[in-house]
Amino acid sequence: MEGVSSITAPSLLAMVPMVIFLIMTLMGKNYTFSVGIAAILGCILTGQGPVQFAGILVDNLGGTLGQVALIVMFGSGLGVLMDKAGINRTVVHFVVKKIGVNTEKKGMLAVLFCSLLMVVLIGTLNGGNAVIAPILLPIVASVGLTPTTVCFLMFNAGLVGVTVGPFCSAVAAALGVSGLSYASYMKWAALPYSITWMIITFILGIFIQKITKGKEAYEDIPPVEEYKASTREKMAVFSFIAVFLVMLVYGMTQDSSMKYVIFVILLLALVVGIFIDQPIPDRIKMFNSGMGKMAGMLLSFLLTGVMIDAITLGGGWEALSEIILNMVGGQSKYLLMIIASVVGGFGVEGAVVTQMEIVNQVFWPTASQMGISMELWAIVLVAAVRITSIVYPSANTAAHMGFARSNNMKLLIVCGWIISIIMLAFIPVWGMIASMFL
């Protein structure tokens, strides 16, 4: 990262690439193209030539962004193996059977728990819910749940899943950006935020069901079929969950970092592969095919790293933090937490790790000067990325409407805004509570 700077650091001019990036993404331009333009512009402004550009790009392979991209790719490969081993179907049928779905509210609980559990296990939002949807729809349709209700519950429970799942990319991003252990992240940020979110989701789900019942319903859904897992499938589920829990407990006792996730995913893939009745080379191909689906984001993440590093070289974050500190005031730490969450949730578009990196780079210097601990700040990182997921129509929203066969985008977004407002109000409340113990 050597080179002759074209601007004198610290300088707000170093933030120009970020402004260009945000404008392009909000205009709907391709993410990789947008961040690529911003990265090149950042290097030009800070005097970084082709050699320095390549050096920064390679350095990011081993940085937070590169590691998160690798985790996303590995997680996608694991998801394919789990599906082939019958783990997904077996787990969903077990949960549904235990709940005993025979009323609307039990149907809602089944959707919430199945979505949450499967997303945590598989590690991806769309991957987890795509698996359970065909299994759940006949069951919840039989008790009268509407498509919009199912979509809303499935989507929000899945978002909670990627917020708490130890091997989910969003969690890996939070650990990488904050430097916290998984146990600290869960205790001070993920659990309080997610429990509140799930309660609100269930209450709003009841409301959605009331106003959509009689207006929409599932049609042409096949009746619920009896399912009996094979001995191999049962053993696959038992082995997966056993190894998952052992690795989780071990990781928490060792204060494991994001890098630990990579090892655990590969170990789980090895365990699951044992229960797939295919030659070893075919199992490897299955894993590789899953990885390939997510390979495109690797370049996006690396270019994001170049953009962020170029802004750092130009002192852009430092200059911006001074302005923020002067505007907010040295004592208004809860106001800063809300502002950071709003900026991240409503103003920054992009991959989860990108949003967290940007929010952290922009606001953390000021937050640390105000005496905010990283444990407390972590809930801002969570809010900054989760709010974006529910207040704007997105590819994830459209995917879940497809999974649940819903077409009521307006109601989904309205309820998303309700959740976002409540969760923004929750941040200072939790901040005051947590500050008494930190």
HEC per residue, 303-362: HHHHHHHHHHHCCHHHHHHHHHHHHHCCCCHHHHHHHHHHHHHHHCCCCHHHHHHHHHHH
| pLDDT for the residue 350 | 60
- Indicate if the alpha-carbon torsion angle 179, 180, 186, 187 is positive or negative: negative
Which residue matches tokens 């928490």?
Answer: 252
**Cα torsion through 386, 387, 391, 397, rounded to 10:** 0
The tokens for 232 are 């191999």
- The pLDDT of residue 312 is 83
Write down the pLDDT at residue 328: 66
Angle at 60 between CA 56 and CA 63, to 5 degrees: 140
Q: Residue 329: its pLDDT value, please? A: 63
Q: Are 238 and 170 in contact (CB under 8 A)?
A: no
Residue pair 17/311 in contact (Cβ under 8 Å)? The answer is yes
| pLDDT for the residue numbered 71 | 80
Is the preceding omega at residue 10 within 30 degrees of 0, hence cis? yes
Residue 2: what pLDDT?
46
pLDDT value for 331: 60
CA distance 371 to 368: 5
The predicted pLDDT at position 381 comes to 93
Would you state the pLDDT for residue 40? 94
Distance CA 139, CA 153 (A): 15
Residue 282 CB neighbour total at 10 angstroms: 12
pLDDT in 10s for each residue of the chain, 438 residues: 444 446 777 788 988 998 898 788 768 787 788 889 999 999 999 989 899 999 988 888 887 778 877 887 887 888 889 888 988 788 887 887 888 888 999 999 999 999 999 899 888 888 788 878 888 888 898 899 999 999 999 999 999 999 999 878 889 889 988 999 998 999 999 999 999 999 999 999 999 999 999 999 988 776 666 678 889 999 999 999 999 899 888 887 776 666 788 888 899 999 999 999 999 999 999 999 988 877 777 888 788 889 888 888 888 877 876 777 677 665 678 888 988 888 877 766 566 777 888 888 888 988 998 889 999 999 999 998 888 888 877 768 878 898 898 989 889 989 999 999 999 999 999 999 998 887
Query: Nearest-CA neighbor of 95 among 125, 126, 131, 123?
Result: 131
Residue 217 gets which letter from DSSP? -
